[in-house]
Amino acid sequence: MNDHMEQQADDVLVAQAQNGEVDAFMELARRLQEKVQAVIFGMTRNREDAGDLTQETFMVAYRSLGSFRGNSSFYTWIYRIAVNRTLNFLKKRGREKGREDYEDNRAFLDNAEVASRSPEGEAVKTELRANLKEAIDGLGAPYRAAFNLVAVQGMSHGQAAAILGCSENTVSWRMHKARKMLQVRLKPYLEEAENAS
């Protein structure tokens, strides 16, 4: 890839890619691959699946370049393809494997006020982490997708809505429901953590 292409804006590269310049699309893919793969991994929690789905996402995007009209950013368009392919993958598998690592959601540990310096506190923290993974895994795919984009990736509700193809209110509702469901499922462990502090 030449230095000139490195400096070009995404919209210029998109226009070139739509005109059949493969190198321009490859540069776009290079710029976005890591971020796209992180989103997919957040939903599948499997590196091999995430790698395969990332490749599939860019293959679909390349074949569908003609349908990109610039109504959203190219980045959002790619994210939408990635999330939809991943949701379809999880549904086809007949199981929802997505798990978010507890370390990506440190706020839960902060709220639990775990006494991490004591052996008892460490044991509770480990149990809480495991149960959070299980609780997130038990969320329905739409809730988990919203939770992953907002809580893990740090996106706004508006950005997540654009990617998921729904309204911002829908994302807000899904986040509200996801937090409620997690609170209910984790209540016994949060109480245990507080007692251990």
For tokens 């193809």, name the residue: 165
* Amino acid 29: pLDDT: 93
What average pLDDT does the segment 35-42 reach?
Answer: 88
Distance CA 166, CA 174 (A): 11
Q: What band does 32 get if pLDDT is binned at 50, 70 and 90?
A: very high
**pLDDT in the model for residue 99:** 41
| More confident position, 29 or 144 | 29
Run of H or E including 194: helix 168-196
**Please, are residues 46 and 90 in contact by the beta-carbon 8 Å criterion?**
no
Q: What is the arithmetic mean of pLDDT over 60-85?
A: 89
Structure tokens at 175: 């986040």
- The answer on pLDDT for 98 being more than 90 is no
| 3 state SS of 21 | coil
Q: Six-digit token pair at 73?
A: 């950013």
Confidence band for 85, pLDDT divided at 50, 70 and 90: very high
Question: What global pTM score does this model have?
Answer: 0.63
**1: burial class by Cβ within 10 Å (0-12, 13-18, 19+)?**
exposed
- Is residue 10 within 8 A of residue 31, CB to CB? The reply is yes
Q: Output the six-digit token pair for 12.
A: 């210029």
Report residue 26's pLDDT band, with 50, 70 and 90 as the boundaries. very high
Q: Average pLDDT of the chain?
A: 78
In this structure, how many other beta carbons lie within 10 angstroms of the beta carbon of residue 67? Answer: 8
Positive or negative, the CA dihedral 133, 139, 142, 146 is negative
CB 43 within 8 Å of CB 145: yes
Give the separation between CA 197 and CA 26, rounded to whole angstroms: 52
User: What pLDDT band is residue 113 in, cutting at 50, 70 and 90?
Assistant: very low
Written as one letter, the residue type at 169 is N
- The pLDDT, as a whole number, for residue 17 is 92
Structural domains of the chain in order of their starting residue, each with its CATH number: 7-93 (1.10.1740.10), 102-196 (1.10.10.10)
Q: Say if CB 157 and CB 150 are below 8 A apart.
A: yes
Which residues neighbour 30 within 8 Å (Cβ) at sequence distance 6 or greater? 1
Residues 6+ away with beta carbon under 8 Å from 120: 196
pLDDT value at residue 144: 84
pLDDT, tens digit, for every residue of 128-183? 666 776 777 777 888 888 888 888 778 889 988 888 888 999 999 999 998 888 88
Mean pLDDT of 88-97: 69
Mean pLDDT value across residues 23-46? 90
